[in-house]
Amino acid sequence: MTTFSDLQLSEHVMRAVADSGYTHPTPIQEQAIPFILMGRDVLGSAQTGTGKTASFTLPMIDILSVGRARARMPRSLILEPTRELAAQVAENFDKYGRYTKLTKALLIGGESMADQLKVLERGADVLIATPGRLLDVFDRGKLLLSDIKVLVIDEADRMLDMGFIPDVERIVSLLARSRQTLFFSATMPPPIRRLADAFLTNPKEISVSPPATMAETVSHGIVVVSDEGEGALSAQRRKRQALRRLIDSHDVRNALIFCNRKRDVGVVHRSLVRHGYDAGLLHGDLAQSTRTEVLERMKRGDMKLLVCSDVAARGLDIEDLSHVLNFDVPSNPEDYVHRIGRTGRAGRTGQALTVALPEDGKYVAQIEQLIGKPIPRITLDGIPDAELVIGRRRRGGEVKGRKRPAPATRPHHDKPDNRAANGQRKPSPAETTAPPRAAAAATVAPPRRQRASPSSRPSSRDSDKPVKGLGDHVPAFLLREVKLPKKES
């Protein structure tokens, strides 16, 4: 069995590893570290929970131990899709780099740019950033990227989902070609492969435990709540009741509770608090300071339940999380795998429990196919259960009663970074081939914070019909008069 001393890491790094209590490298560390130390590009197929962060931070600390950073000219760059992940990677550098003099800077949205610039100004060996904030700073002339020797692109598939790929492409075009590039993604759909081909030179390809087999230590369960003869609201209420029963009937020490929609994060959180549960909430619209504080409380064990959206919770490392609870079945089976990856980490056991409605049948089938096994059904006292139905259209609270065209991009996720959402860029080739889910969701999701007036709200019967084209809505630009050029005589 490989030990850390077989990996040729420096004594400083080995001491920090020993302090962390690690006895053996994880498979991604065992395979990636020697090649990174050799200066090779790496294409890693691995998700969070596999020890991926240490697989690149440990060797980077040694690579960067030679040389010094100059003001505004970082020597390495790590791109992360969310602020939380960026902050987590920064913590890893602190932990593993404690016996070195390495300096680091963090550029993430939602926090004071002035403070971040000050750190950059002093010179940073490692710059950890989200793409939008990084480009903002670069465009203001406060950052030079010509000295980047090592580039890490982490969670590439999530970057694609969140519309960040054009920003990433631009950032890479600003870097020297002679750099070393480390590229990690949980999944490798064709657009991600194409990007990897464009960014990497003769990479060492490493794949560890594909997501479907990742969480062997996690047991699954699903309760299907009947919606028979009831409206959507009642079904949602029943789901909340089922969630409470799940919490009460299982040995939940601490849990993340995932909702598909930001709005439901608030609703579920309020409902739990009203019923006396110790719960907080986390989604992308909260101020960064609040998000950080909530996370800290959860990590310290001062909070039992955290209701959250997918993006806010992506990759979060909460030690020894006993449960992941899905208040909604995610539409994308890979999101299920990411969610449950928050529990059962580092060989511990965990439980993933899901609340479903009969109409979620199609999505549950996709998840079961991806994880390669059926999810056992659970029945709860006092909650009428039902069978899953394949082929029934999902009612989805937000879709009901609205006939509106969808925003063109990013319908499903909340946004950790403003830039990609505000139309400052053209879609890239990778984006235009984004997975079908994003496109499908875009046709049904309503624009944010727009509410139909009571008079314009269609009847509940209408709401079940699919909206064709633009529905009743005619966008203003179609009504604008077009001035034709005068004919030349």
Under the rule (CB under 6 A), what is the footprint of ligand AMP?
Answer: 22, 25-26, 29, 48-54, 317, 345-346
Query: What is the smallest separation between the CB atom of 1 and ligand AMP, expressed in angstroms?
Result: 12
Q: How far is the CB of 25 from ligand AMP (least distance, A)?
A: 5
**Between 52 and 410, whose beta carbon lies closer to ligand AMP?**
52
User: Whose Cβ is closer to ligand AMP: residue 25's or residue 211's?
Assistant: 25
Q: Which is nearer to ligand AMP, 346 or 452 (CB)?
A: 346
User: Smallest distance from the beta carbon of 294 to ligand AMP, in angstroms?
Assistant: 19
- Residue placing its CB nearer to ligand AMP in the complex, 53 or 326: 53
CB of 264 to ligand AMP, least distance (A): 27
Q: Judged by CB, which is closer to ligand AMP: 317, or 385?
A: 317
Instruction: Report the nearest approach of ligand AMP to the CB of residue 2 (Å).
Output: 11
Least distance (Å) from ligand AMP to the CB of residue 78? 12
Strand order in the sheet with 126-129: 104-107, 126-129, 76-79, 150-153, 180-185, 42-45, 204-207
Cβ closer to ligand AMP: 50 or 236?
50
Q: How near is the Cβ of 52 to ligand AMP at its closest, in Å?
A: 4
Record the tokens describing residue 374, joined without a space. Answer: 């059926």
CB of 454 to ligand AMP, least distance (A): 48
Q: Are strands 305-308 and 279-282 parallel, antiparallel or unpaired?
A: parallel
Determine the Cα–Cα distance for residues 332 and 343; give it in Å rounded to an integer: 19
By C-beta, is 93 or 363 nearer to ligand AMP? 93
- By C-beta, is 26 or 332 nearer to ligand AMP? 26
Cross-strand bridge partners of residue 351: 219, 323
User: Which residue of the chain is nearest ligand AMP when measured via CB?
Assistant: 53
User: Residue 275 corresponds to which amino acid?
Assistant: H
Do residues 403 and 458 lie in contact, with contact meaning Cβ atoms separated by under 8 Å?
A: yes
